Structures are given as structure tokens and as C-alpha cells.
Amino acid sequence: MEKTVTASAFARNFGRYRDEAATGEIVTVTIRGRVIGGFLSARQLEEYRRLKRRDREGAAAQAPAAAEPRHGTGQERGAAALLVARKLNAGRRRAIAPADLTAALRSGKPAKALRAHLGGFFEEIPIELVHDTILEEGLDYDRLVGLAGELGIAGETVDWLEEMAGDSLAASA
């Protein structure tokens, strides 16, 4: 079961929600209708961690073996784009190759056939993976912000990209 409460109600009634979480109920916490977090039982948290660990291990096993190193970090060039392409292709009729995704993101011009994938890049992919893709592929923050604007997309990832585009250190990375 799941319950949704405001942050102020959660703070006022923490003991109650702690007890409910202990019985297996997930408590989702919102501010102005936007989910900001959740409260889980220790068992649910351990299950979440186990699943995250399994996802990371699976992603590492699927990464290409022979690729160009990324900025001396030991990470492989193209690994993030490959993972992003796989995530974006799930549930879509048309698949996109990692190289085509990277080229479309680099160009800043949304090809009609790729609009769903490009929109998914900004709306579905976690910021950490977006960041890895940008670094590995040498993408431009300003160009990505422009592409999101052309696609009519706003949200947390676009806000982060705008912040990064304004950061002189990030823009030179």
C-alpha cells in the first residue's frame, strides 16, 4: 500500500508515518503536489538497495568492452550512450542506435523521427546518466538546453542543464 502526504503533514505526524512505514506502507511526501521523497520500512529500503545493485551490475556487464577511455577515469567512451539508447528503446517501436542518439544530441536539431527518443532523454533518463553521456560524448550544455526548448520540454533535467550551461567550469569540461 502507498499513502501520499504533504511535507508539512509528514513533519507534524512523523511518528504516525514511521509506524505506518514499519508495517510495509510506503509514505510518499510532496510539496505543492510534487514528489520530493518517500519513507520506507527498513525491509523495503534493503530491497530497493538490492535492486539498484542488481541494475548496476547488469549495466556494467552490458557495457562495451573495447571503447575509448573517458578523461582518464577508466570509464569507457560510449558506455553511457549505449545504456541511454537501451533505456529509450524499451517500449518504443523504433530503436535508436547510440551513435544516432549522440549525433542528434550534438546537432541540437530534433529530427522528426527521433523526437520521442530525444524527449525521453530529457524526461526519462536520470540526471546522473545524462551527465555521464554529456561527459563521455563531449556534448554541449547550451546546445542541449536549446534542443529541449525546441522540443518544448521543461523539468528537472532541463533546469539542471541550464544551471550547468551557466557554470563556466562545467561548460569547459
168: confidence class by pLDDT, cuts 50, 70, 90: very low
Mean pLDDT is lowest, of 2-6, 90-94, 101-105, 166-170, for 166-170
Distance CA 107, CA 147 (A): 9
> Contact at 8 Å (CB) between 104 and 114?
yes
Transcribe 16-70 into DSSP letters. Answer: HHHHHHHTT-EEEEEETTEEEEEE--HHHHHHHHHHHHHHHHHHHHHS-SS--B-
List Cα–Cα distances, 69 to 12, 18, 65, 72, in angstroms: 50, 46, 11, 6
pLDDT of residue 55: 78
Domains of the chain, earliest start first: 1-62 (3.40.1620.10), 68-171 (no CATH)
The radius of gyration computed from the CA coordinates of the chain, to the nearest angstrom, equals: 19
What is the bridge-based pairing of β-strands 34-39 and 2-6?
A: unpaired
pTM over 0.85: no
Mean pLDDT in residue range 143-158: 92
% the chain with pLDDT above 90: 43
pLDDT digits (tens, 9 = 90+) for 100-114: 889 999 988 878 888
Position 30 scores a pLDDT of 94
Cell representation of residue 47: 530491497
Angle at the Cα of 110 (from 106 to 112), degrees rounded to 5? 140
Query: Which residue's entry shows cell 526548448?
Result: 149
* 144 burial type by CB count under 10 A (0-12 exposed, 13-18 middle, 19+ buried): buried
